[in-house]
């Protein structure tokens, strides 16, 4: 059973949530539940992991060589940041 909770957000974020939910075919409530769930999974680690999220450009899909080069450059940046 779901419990109702209110949330205060800026109008711009509310509009972004509406557009994003529509794009995914979900309600705004479903989108928020999924986002919170994913975020909590990242924040509340069971181990000693450091979560890293990468947004991979869609033009790299299907091009293994370019994708590997891109991932290599991002790996180097992440490694430097974690020194």
Decide if pLDDT at 39 tops 70: yes
In the chain, % of residues over pLDDT 70: 96
Please indicate whether residue 53 or residue 25 has the higher confidence score (pLDDT).
25
Q: In whole numbers, what is the pLDDT of the chain averaged over residues?
A: 90
pTM over 0.85: no
Decide if pLDDT at 48 tops 80: no
Q: How confident is the model at residue 47 (pLDDT cuts 50, 70, 90)?
A: low
Q: Which domain holds residue 19?
A: 9-47
Report if residue 14 sits inside a domain. Answer: yes
Q: Are residues 37 and 66 in the same domain?
A: no
Q: Are residues 41 and 27 in the same domain?
A: yes
DSSP per-residue string spanning 12-81: HHHHHHHHHHHHHT--HHHHHHHHHHHHHHHHS-SSS---------GGGTT-HHHHHHHHHHHHHHHHHH
């Amino acid at each position: 059973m779901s419990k109702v909770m209110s949330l205060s957000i800026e109008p711009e974020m509310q509009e972004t949530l509406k557009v994003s939910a529509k794009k995914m075919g979900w309600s705004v409530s479903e989108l928020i539940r999924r986002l919170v769930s994913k975020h909590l999974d990242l924040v509340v680690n069971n181990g000693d992991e450091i979560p890293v999220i990468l947004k991979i450009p869609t033009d790299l899909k299907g091009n293994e060589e370019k994708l590997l080069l891109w991932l290599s450059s991002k790996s180097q940046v992440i490694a430097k940041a974690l020194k």
